[in-house]
Amino acid sequence: MKLLIFYADYFLCKPTMKTLEEFPEINEAIELHNSVLGFIHVEEKDLDNINKVTTKLIKNLKWVMNKTETSSVVLHSFAHLSSSKADPVKSYEIFKQAFDRLKNSGYQPVITPYGYFNDLKMELPGKPIARIFKDF
């Protein structure tokens, strides 16, 4: 998995073009303040152990949420960080698992429209914790 983590003072996501028919129609925008953003690239090898990869994903996101004192987290599919790409339908299992586990731990997770190109607006403060890359 490749993971870009941002801390955003402001985040806006609007679905613009559906790219995967398997997923539902979504037209609503997402607008948040003071959130951690996880831009997630699921690689083929990640599907061999979904639970382990999901645990590492959550651990990294929680670490940044604790450092920035926020409970709001965005899970965003960003399949542009590696040449290895997992099947999108199977990849979504990681997103659902992460969402459920974060929610059950008292966090406020959101999954951006999956299977869509989205217009994004972000305001990221100029501090080290606002931009992190992880590869696992």
Q: Quote the pLDDT of residue 96.
A: 98
Q: Token match 């190109």: residue? A: 117
Q: Quote the pLDDT of residue 21.
A: 87
DSSP code, position 129: G
Q: Quote the pLDDT of residue 98.
A: 98
Whole-angstrom distance, CA of residue 39 vs CA of residue 78: 5
CATH code of the domain containing 20: 3.50.80.10
What residues have CB less than 8 Å from 3, skipping those under 6 apart? 38, 39, 40, 41, 57, 60, 133, 134, 135, 136
Number of domains in the chain: 1
User: How large is the average pLDDT for residues 92-107?
Assistant: 98
What residues have CB less than 8 Å from 66, skipping those under 6 apart? none
- For the purposes of burial, counting CB atoms within 10 Å of the CB of 113, is it exposed (0-12), middle (13-18) or buried (19 or more)? buried
User: How large is the average pLDDT for residues 11-31?
Assistant: 95
What confidence tier does 46 reach under pLDDT thresholds 50, 70, 90? Answer: very high
Of residues 24 and 134, more confidence is placed in 134
Q: What range defines the domain where residue 54 resides?
A: 2-135
User: How large is the average pLDDT for residues 122-126?
Assistant: 97
> Which residues on adjacent β-strands are paired with residue 77?
40
For residue range 56-98, list pLDDT tens digits in order: 999 999 999 999 999 999 999 999 999 999 999 999 999 999 9
